[in-house]
Amino acid sequence: MAKLRFYGQACFSLEHGGTTLIFDPYLSANPAKIAKPTEVHPDYIFVTHGHADHLGDTLELAIKNQATIITTAEMGRFLESQADGLKIEPMHVGGQWKFPFGKVKVTPAIHGAGIPGGIACGFLVDLDTVVIYFAGDTALFSDMKLIGRRKPIDYALLPIGDRFTMGPEDAADAAALLGARNVIPMHYNGNVRTKQDPRDFAKLVAQCCDSEVVIMEPGETIDLS
Ligand code: NI
Ligand code: MN
C-alpha cells in the first residue's frame, strides 16, 4: 500500500515498500507549516522546476538524507553548481527510466523553469500497483490525453490555483483529458492570488467526467489503492 501525504502547495511525499519519495519539497517557507526539513527523510526528491515554492528545501534534504534528486538536466546542473556531492539522476521530457521503486516518466508542463535555459516538467510515476501523475505547475494542454493511454492513471495531482497555473475550469478539462480514476487538487490557497475552494473544482469535475476528486488538507495522509 502506498501512502501519500500533502504538505500544502505542490509538496507531497509518497511512501511505498520502505522507500520515501518527495515531490517539490517546499517545507520551511511553506505557509502551511506541516513539517520542517529535518522531519522528513526522503530517499528520492523530485523537482519539477526552480520556482521557490517547488525547489524549496531540495538541497538541505538531499544533503542530510543522501537522497537522490530526479529532475531535468538543466535543473540538475543548476543544483550541482550549488553544492558538492549531490546524487542526481537527470532525465528529460518524454523519457522514462526504471528505478528500484518503480518507473518514472518525465511529462511536459507549460510553465517557467525558474532557471535560465531550462523547462518545467511533471512526472508520471508507476509503482506497479498504482500510477500517479504529478502535473507540476502547468497550463492545460491537449496532449494530456496521451499521458495515461498505455496504463490508466490512478491518481492525478493537478494545480487549480489559477493566476500562475491552471485554474479550476482548465483543471477540470485536464481531468477529462487524463481520464484519471482520482484527481487531487493542489497549488491553491498558498497566497491571496491563488485563492480557490476545491469543492467548486469538484463540482466542475462531476459535470465533465467520471474522475473522483479527493480533496486533501495540508498534513493529511491517504492510502492509495
Ligand atoms: Ni512555478
Ligand atoms: Mn508554483
Q: Output the nine-digit C-alpha cell for 16.
A: 511505498
Angle between helices 73-80 and 58-65 (to 10 degrees): 70
Grade residue 225 by pLDDT with cuts at 50, 70 and 90: confident
pTM, 2 dp = 0.98
Question: Mind listing the pLDDT tens digit for each residue in 88-105?
Answer: 999 999 999 999 999 999
Gap from CA of 171 to ligand 2 centroid (Å): 15
Ligand closest to Cα of 51 equals 1
Asked whether the beta carbons of 85 and 68 are under 8 A apart, the reply is: no
The alpha carbon of 110 and the centre of ligand 1 are apart by a number of angstroms equal to 10
Q: Determine the distance separating the centroid of ligand 1 and the alpha carbon of 128, expressed in angstroms.
A: 29
> Which ligand sits nearest to residue 8's alpha carbon?
2
Mean pLDDT of all residues belonging to the chain: 98
* Distance from residue 112's CA to the centre of ligand 1 (Å): 6
Using the mean position of ligand 2's atoms as its centre, give its distance from the Cα of residue 189 in Å.
11
Strands 96-99 and 102-108: antiparallel
Categorize the per-residue pLDDT at 132 as very low, low, confident or very high, splitting at 50, 70 and 90: very high
In this prediction, residues 65-84 reach a mean pLDDT of: 98
Give distance in angstroms: CA of 17 to centre of ligand 1: 30
Residue 125's pLDDT is 98
pLDDT on residue 175: 98
DSSP letter assigned to residue 67: P
Please write the tens of the pLDDT for every residue from 156-214. Answer: 999 999 999 999 999 999 999 999 999 999 999 999 999 999 999 999 999 999 999 99
Residue 16 confidence (pLDDT): 98
3-state helix, strand, coil split of the chain in percent (to 5) is 25, 30, 50
- Ligand 1 centre and the CA of 221: distance in Å? 24
Separation of 112 CA from ligand 2 center, angstroms? 9
